[in-house]
Structure 1
């Protein structure tokens, strides 16, 4: 960023004159410094870029945390423990949703800053500042889009892995390998007692119903998580539109 900011050495400073309007006197260095409007705007731009990078870093850290918690959920066999685990995961995903929307808003704010800068002297199309702004903004949009795409992939993965966990739970209790269609129906409807009827007769209701309650709680948890992750998918779609628009703008610039 420092190479984009510059120091103005004025004639007054060279002559040791203080108090010129718009400049600040440096006692130790013996000269004055002032930032042009252009350099101030670039500093604001880079500050906003750093804020956005911090948001994405926070999202990335929480993504790893969600994945870790999902892996741990596969070993949970008690309903109450599953319920608590679901609430903890949901809280983290809610935080990601808030941060993702903040990041998207910052991207849009940067776009507005860039558009305003284009109208100013020395910052139009083809200028050094315009190329810097465009290149950095384009890269940030793509990074945020790719990050949101990973949450969409996570959503599909959680759905598939939950099916596998439920399938194993059913087999443990009933000794039956149910087809995926039956497992999906059980997950969607929440109705599973008919599948366990034989096991209830053979093993008693207590043990079987504990497993059934855990499966139902697990399915509720996954549905809630999928709904929250779907909100992040919308951010991904919005970013995809912005990336496409940025690409078209870059193509137009190259043609000119």
Structure 2
């Protein structure tokens, strides 16, 4: 879990750094870092998933032992041991999903600011939508090409935005693939949680039945004692 948390943090840091990048080469470097971190997150999640599945299989196998059957204290204890880890994994999944959404939202804002900086005009939402969809920013910057300095600035902006657009598309694709791994984990976690809840519920019902049985037995014994005492009293009185 520590490795997973570390890679998620590095991914967040790389995303923050990408916001201030204005060169295509710098964006390519950050993209490589983010690709590597996403890959490492995927490896960490898969390793945890395999470990949890292994533990679950061991729990099933352990139920074959006397006194360790499904629903016993030993079985419940073994299942509950993995719950904290699964809870942390679910929290990481939520953090990852928030980061993915944040990258998408911030990408729009970065593009807006970049276009405004170069052209001096705020782009419309339709212009941003088209730019994100096609990656073609040259039309937006045409009017900003005034003199050699303006041309160089526009070329830098076009290259950087194109690189950023390609990077975001690739990162989004990989994050969606990784998101599916998290979804698979969530299904596993939910299934185990429901199993434990069901076992706990069955145990509670069983305990309730036992307690009711004990109460009924005590009541019966009490009634028998009263009846016996009454009979002895009547016998003594008659004598």
Gaps of 5+ in 2: 203-239
Aligned to 1:163: 108
Q: Kindly provide the CA deviation profile for residues 165-206 of structure 1, in whole angstroms up to 9, marking residues without a partner as x.
A: 110000001112113332122012111111111112466422
Asked which structure has the greater CA Rg, the reply is: 2
Q: Kindly provide the CA deviation profile for residues 23-72 of structure 1, in whole angstroms up to 9, marking residues without a partner as x.
A: xxxxxxxxxxxxxxxxxxxxxxxxxxxxxxxxx11010111111111111
CA distance in 2, matches of 1:181, 1:118: 61
**Aligned partners of 1:167 and 1:177 also within 8 Å:** yes
How far off its partner does 1:237 sit? 1.1
Gaps of 5+ in 1: 1-55
Aligned to 1:142: 87
Aligned to 2:141: 196
**Aligned partners of 1:59 and 1:99 also within 8 Å:** yes
Q: 1:101 to 1:181 in 2, by over 3 A?
A: farther
How far off its partner does 1:90 sit? 0.9
2:70 counterpart SS class: coil
2:145 counterpart SS class: helix
Q: Kindly provide the CA deviation profile for residues 140-178 of structure 1, in whole angstroms up to 9, marking residues without a partner as x.
A: 223212212211111110111111011000000111211
* 1:209 correspondence with 2:155: yes
**Aligned partners of 2:90 and 2:186 also within 8 Å:** yes
* 1:230 correspondence with 2:176: yes
Alignment of 1:115-154 (within 5 A): 115-154=60-99
Query: What TM-score, normalized to structure 1?
Result: 0.74
Query: What TM-score, normalized to structure 2?
Result: 0.79
Q: Kindly provide the CA deviation profile for residues 192-242 of structure 1, in whole angstroms up to 9, marking residues without a partner as x.
A: 111111112466422211111111111111122111211221122112211
* 1:246 correspondence with 2:192: yes
**Aligned partners of 1:148 and 1:232 also within 8 Å:** no
- Using CA pairs below 8 Å that are at least 6 residues apart, which structure has the higher relative contact order? 2
Aligned residues: 201
Give me the CA root mean square deviation: 1.6
